[in-house]
Amino acid sequence: MQSAQTTEVQSTHTPISSWALPALTFLFFIWGFITCLNDILIPHLKAVFDLNYTQAMLIQFCFFGAYFVVSLPAGALINKLGYQKGIVIGLAIAGVGTFNFIPAASFHSYPWFLAALFVLASGITILQVAANPYVTILGNPKTAASRLTMTQAFNSLGTTVAPLIGAALILSQLDSTEGADAVQLPYLVLTVALFAVAFVFSRLKLPVVENTTAAEKISLKTLLPYSHLWLGALGIFMYVGAEVAIGSVMVNFIALPEITGLPEADAAHYVAWYWGGAMLGRFVGAALMQKMNAGLLLAMHAAAAILLLALVITGQGTLALLALLAVGIANSIMFPTIFSLALHGLGKYTGQGAGLLCLAIVGGALLPVAQGMLADNFGLTLSFILPIFCYLYICYFGLRSRKVTG
């Protein structure tokens, strides 16, 4: 999932290190990897600490809650110190977060895990605000779009491989004596990687980037007349909440006796297909939007997600499994399409509008907790009613927005 900032950039003639773009690409990969690793962390810590679904979903509450709390301060920080220092600080903060998984496991403390997740997500939030503009200036301006596509593809690659690695290193230890300690090695490796990349970025010679909107104060009064922006913000809230909620319970759902009956470590491998479908769907969707109305295509994807989730609730076995995995394909174009439709026509207020939409990512903190409560009270299968309502709204927004871009 990508956050967006509207940015004006100016580059000097400072020599650009040949390692700059590969290092930035790794940033996209690593924050996609870390974000998706939560889908493995949830069933693991749920079992280790004997949590109900509501308690387990506090993992996403703390992680995505950081987006809401830190986004605006991150913009102010970057405006003051610059993008390169912002990236280094973001990586260092994320590294502190991953390092704290080690004592959290040693002391068998779920609250410590939650605090570590908030710190980790705070660092990633700073990275998201800081890294995107760099990609656009590292090379020929005419190929900026292709560079962004490439780096975002590596973000999707991170979300695809994370379930496979997490299953091998974390969930496979559920039946052993390691328990919470199983997270120590993977998160220690992440800590080393984050601090190593922070060091690399502190040494790179990167262009000077002037940002004029990242810390722009959001004026609600100014934005009030733009109803499609507010509807789009609710759309972002619904989409991120639905996507995160589905991914959070996927391993537990696939492991149900009536679905596959697999051990959770094996069930986790299917999560890679969910995120892999989203990755491939982005490329197909980008091609389709060259010929189709964006709002109508968004509505069609949302309608497909609704039908697929209906099969998840009413079906069993392979049918329900395949329907759930196919929701990833339906999700593929939703975030960037909602974002662009919501910002259409804002002109000089685009920066403020983008800030409002980034705050709406807090849906990823709140809606998974709501689905967890439904799962605890009505069963895991019926809890998928919540994302159905989210996609119903997105379908409405798409149909309403189909005239925005013609």
How far is residue 259's CA from residue 394's CA, in Å, rounded to a whole number?
A: 28
pLDDT of residue 129: 79
Supply the DSSP symbol for 2: -
Asked if the domains 1-212 and 219-406 are classified in one and the same CATH topology, the answer is: yes
pLDDT of residue 247: 93
Rounded to an integer, what is the distance from CA 235 to the centroid of its chain? 15
Distances (CA, A) of 316 to 255, 257, 312: 12, 10, 7
What DSSP line would sit under 204-260, residue for residue? --------SSTTPPP-HHHHTT-HHHHHHHHHHHHHHHHHHHHHHHHHHHHTSTTTT
Which residues, given as ranges, of the chain have pLDDT below 50? 3-16, 144-146, 212-215
How far is residue 350's CA from residue 286's CA, in Å, rounded to a whole number?
A: 22
- Residue in the structure block whose two tokens are 């922070």: 198
How far is residue 80's CA from residue 68's CA, in Å, rounded to a whole number?
A: 20
Tens-digit pLDDT profile for residues 223-240: 888 899 999 999 999 999
Neighbours of 318 (CB within 10 A): 10
Closest CA to 114 of 47, 158, 66: 66
Region for residue 179 given its phi and psi (left: phi exceeds 0; alpha: psi -120 to 50; beta: otherwise): left
* Candidates 1.20.1250.20, 3.40.50.300, 3.40.50.720, 3.90.1300.10; CATH matching 1-212: 1.20.1250.20
- Is the CB of residue 397 less than 8 Å from the CB of residue 360? no
- Is the CB of residue 280 less than 8 Å from the CB of residue 152? no
Locate the domains of the chain by residue range: 1-212, 219-406
- Its pTM stands at 0.87
Residue 163: what are its φ and ψ, rounded to 5°?
A: -60, -35
How far is residue 248's CA from residue 237's CA, in Å, rounded to a whole number?
A: 16
Closest CA to 3 of 72, 91, 67: 67
Distances (CA, A) of 402 to 28, 127, 240, 297: 31, 33, 21, 9
Q: What residue type is assigned to position 62 of the chain?
A: C
Q: Which fold has domain 219-406?
A: Growth Hormone; Chain: A; (1.20.1250)
Supply the DSSP symbol for 16: P
